[in-house]
Structure 1
Amino acid sequence: MEEIVRVLRDVFRVEIAEVLELFDAGKQLRARVSAGLKPVAFGRRVLNAAGDSQAGYTIQHNAPVIVTDLRAEARFRPSPTLLEHGVVSGMSVIIRGRSHPYGVLAVHATRRRRFDADDANTLTAIANVLGMAIERAATEAQLRASEAQSRFLASIVEQSEDAILTRDLDDVIMSWNPGAEQLYGYSAEYAIGRKARELQLRNLSERDYERLLARIRGAHRVRFESRCTTRGGQSVYVFGTAGPMYDDSGQHIGEIVVARDVTALRETRNQLMQLNNDLEQRVAERTAQLETAYREAEALSYSIAHDLRAPLRAISGYAKILEEELTPILPDTAQNYLQRMYGNAVRLGTLIDALLSLQRLSRQPLARTRVRLNEAVEDALNWLRSEQPGREIDIAVEDLGEAEIDPALIRLAFANLLSNAMKFT
């Protein structure tokens, strides 16, 4: 392009030649290349394509523009940059492309010149050649970019461990990557040109295969999991996706399929499911064993409590009788032994009752309700007084307020606390 503007200066015997390109969606023009403009002026040469400059006027009127005297020009506002360079006369034409203009080609003279239609036609012809060159360069750049992208995508397909294949609307395989060779056992030379169903999903019934194709050809991407047999006779499970494939015009030309071997994954999943089922069964068996042991322990505790209560009642009863009838004739030491025997028997009976009560409570859910704590303390004291008749103990209870709690458990807790306090008082 630099060579063109230098040639233009020689052909038209002018001091300045320039190419202005459209940018910003065709709204502005900027200097792309020039010969004769000072570097500072070239760098700031940006014009409004819809404005009143010579280049903008050329774009808007879609025709060559010839200027005889720039300072006297009334069709548009003279460019300050061109006036600074002493421009008097000049021409400008559109650089046309196949679908849209690329910009403006212009020549400028610092002395008065009368350019005619032949000069304008010559400049237009050069601009057309330049437009074709620009378009060819853009096409070649797009082609190179497309080829680079195709090579990049092809390398991804070649390096992928997944099976990637394409097939046309007749179910004939068009491409078959190394991943497909590895999965199905057929080489690309063998596979390409054959029916996809014969090599890929031959274990699938004809009806199911046609249904799968119908869904894909309805512009749907489909996920599938199926068992297939490789060329070596090995049965494998594959999971994949299949979707429609289109050409540049949007025409449906076939399908692309990506699949991978999930046999090991499926086996691992089945093993995990079996382990989970085994674990559930073992938990159920262990739970049943624990429930049986709990029931047996409960029965044992009741049996022990029943077996212990009878002798304890006898011990405490006889101790009480001996104490009442023999006190006058027994020495103090013997009386003390009888009192201790009776007291320990009573305490052991109370302990057995408390343990059984706690066991019964542990089987019941918490029944939370609002309880006045002073009333719970009073209930515990009444029970303790009945267990220890005749004992005088002063207990001061302040206002404890209310709490959201299980009434039975709080009474038992207070009874245990107060019993310990009374025991060591």
Structure 2
Amino acid sequence: MLAEPPQARPLCVLVEQLHATLGRFSLALSLARDALAWLDAHGRIIWCNRAFDRLAGVDHTALLGEPVTELLVLERDGHPVTGELHPAVRILAEVDELLENYDATIGDRRAVLEVYGRRGRIEGQPAAVLVIQDVTERERARAELSTANTRLASANQELEAFSYSVSHDLRAPLRAINGFSQVLLEDYGTVLDATGKDYLQRVRKAAQNMGKLIDDLLRLSRVTRADLAWTTVDLSAAARESVRELAASTPERSVDVEIPDGLAACGDARLLGVALQNLLDNAWKFTSKTTNARIEVGVADENGERTFFVRDNGAGFDEAYADKMFGAFQRLHAADEFPGTGIGLAIVRRIIHRHGGRIWATGALDTGATLHFTLPTDGECRT
């Protein structure tokens, strides 16, 4: 059955439908959270909603026909905004549109109001509409964020100063300890007995370990502060380069390493290279006492999320302590069993987090470990 054309409907029905539509619009505007007001050419209120009533603190019937400049008392920098500076006057006389923040007193509290104004016409006469939103909480949050950013910048400056002190002031005494202990061994070695020589070797080893720890701390600091240069990173190539360096450093070892082609992600090439280097160095170290050592780098779909992994069949770990693996100076194995400073995985975690990814570990003692991590895809690379 064909619908009846509008022209055939009784005029009274169309009028009723029009009134119903206007009623719905009026109800929606009256219930809106933002304060709305229509002004005539002289800045008097033609219509306003309930939110404007509450803002002005005046009964609705008393608002109509009143100058909005007397009802909407605004301030800026502690001074009243009156006369030609009032946004209602400016929108009717100077500008077609404006969006500005003002201070105001609403009841017994201070507030920040965002005032939007636009010039228009009603029944052929100049008019304007004002939309006013209470943005006090937003501006308070913005101010708190600005304060937090300022404190963060100050903390970063202090961190840079500390890093400089570590890299220069602490290295000098370490060099002296290493140097003089070596001189003692070379020039007075014949005078020292076995116990004395052992003590000197321990001093040298402790100084060297301290030097490595300082290097790792500085690397951790640089990872935190470095700017990211986003690009598509060939993770397969980066992993292979790290394995070549590890194999060259321990030519006596034979490790079966599997790295497929086509592993790619979006991120900072240098930092992701550092992350892979640390992950592979970790796997290389913990397979050092494993017969038929094997390391695998790959990617898998885990619950619909593309997840990279570095897996080994080395010493493994107790999963009850998995969260501790990524903390600075945290060790799940004795230092004399597997040497290291305990910083490597902390560096990896910071790099992955800076890229918006996640990292976690699974494994078991004497079985091996898998380090899982997520990164933005190469198709999501930022410019």
Q: Under TM normalisation by the shorter chain, which class is it?
A: 0.3 to 0.5
With structure 2 as the length reference, what TM-score do the two structures score? Answer: 0.46
Q: Which has the higher contact order (CA 8 A, sep 6+)?
A: 2
More helix by share: 1
Larger radius of gyration: 1
With structure 1 as the length reference, what TM-score do the two structures score? Answer: 0.42
